[in-house]
Amino acid sequence: MRLQDKVALITGAGSGIGRETARLFAQNGASVVAVDINVPAAQETVERIREAGGTAIACAADVARAADCEHMVQEAERAFGKLNILFNNAGIMLSEDDDAVTTDESIWDKTMAVNLKGVFLGCKYGIPALRRAGGGSIINTASFVALLGAATPQLAYTASKGGVLAMTRELAVVHARENIRVNALCPGPLRTELLMKFLDSEEKRQRRLVHIPMGRFGEAREMAYAALYLASDEAAFVTGTEFVVDGGITAAYVTPEG
């Protein structure tokens, strides 16, 4: 039980990486606060955890709203008495997100509000709770596109994830002496609903796959195992990292023709 007696709050827990991580954390002994703007989806995650013998509660939150982020942290402490792990995972990727010329300002603002401001607000209210618990682990979901330009234009998403990386590094330095570790998980392209909605044609999917040395999309469960390591005491000397789990995409040089 790698997370025995730990309390973990996970945003975006109603699907994808968030749901798989919530289930895995619970399997490893954590009490989980499954947060999502989609309440039925969060409740489904909780039901699956409880069916497997784990402990979890659902919490509704729009991470772009300060009051919601404050409330989700309060719920974690109310239900379980503390907070040890904060996984700022909630994110959006909008189909209208394109290049600088084409992308509408409203798409930019909405993407930044969820993907970047949401991480800031999670930390704003989560860090005091981690202090009260004597320290802990923060994991922020970034992306490989924060390190490389995306093959398919998605400027707002890419910029938001770059901001997550910068914020993660600074938070890691600021809070290192408080026993609070802060790391960014950088997934490669995954076979999740979020990405498959964006890569909505075979042409788009192949343009992405040609850059992945493993030749396949990753799975949400594979990201959950990476998050489990970062959340656990096994990563006690790991902070400020860009933890890349991408099938080799950032290590490779691939021509546009493959």
Cα distances from 11 to residues 109, 170, 210, in angstroms, run 20, 21, 31
Residue-level pLDDT at 254: 55
- Residue 164 within a domain: yes
Q: Is residue 248 part of a domain?
A: no
> Are 88 and 123 within 8 A, CB to CB?
yes
For residues 60 and 203, give the distance between their C-alpha atoms in angstroms, rounded to a whole number: 36
DSSP letters, 40-92, are HHHHHHHHHHHHTT-EEEEEE--TTSHHHHHHHHHHHHHHHS---EEEE----
| Those residues with Cβ within 8 angstroms of residue 224's Cβ, 6 or more apart along the chain or in another chain | 17, 20, 21, 23, 24, 25
Does residue 137 fall inside a structural domain?
A: yes
Catalytic status, residue 253: no
| CA nearest to 231, candidates 12, 16, 19, 22 | 22
Residue 202, domain member (yes or no)? no
Q: Is residue 68 part of a domain?
A: yes
- CATH number of the domain enclosing 97: 3.40.50.720
Mean pLDDT by 10 residues, the chain (258 residues): 97 97 98 98 98 98 98 98 98 94 98 98 98 98 92 91 98 98 95 74 75 90 98 98 95 61
Domain tally, the chain = 1
Asked whether residue 113 is domain-assigned, the answer is yes
Give a yes or no: residue 56 inside a domain.
Answer: yes
In the chain, where do the E strands start and end? 7-11, 31-36, 55-60, 85-88, 136-141, 180-187, 242-245
The verdict on pTM exceeding 0.85 is yes
> Is residue 213 domain-resident?
no
pLDDT, residue 193, reads: 75
Catalytic residue among 157, 225, 229, 253: 157
Residue type, 110: K
Q: Which distant-in-sequence residues (6+ apart) come within 8 Å of 254 by Cβ?
A: 210, 211, 213
Domain enclosing residue 141, as ranges = 7-188+219-235
Q: What is the pLDDT of residue 258?
A: 43
Strands 136-141 and 85-88: parallel
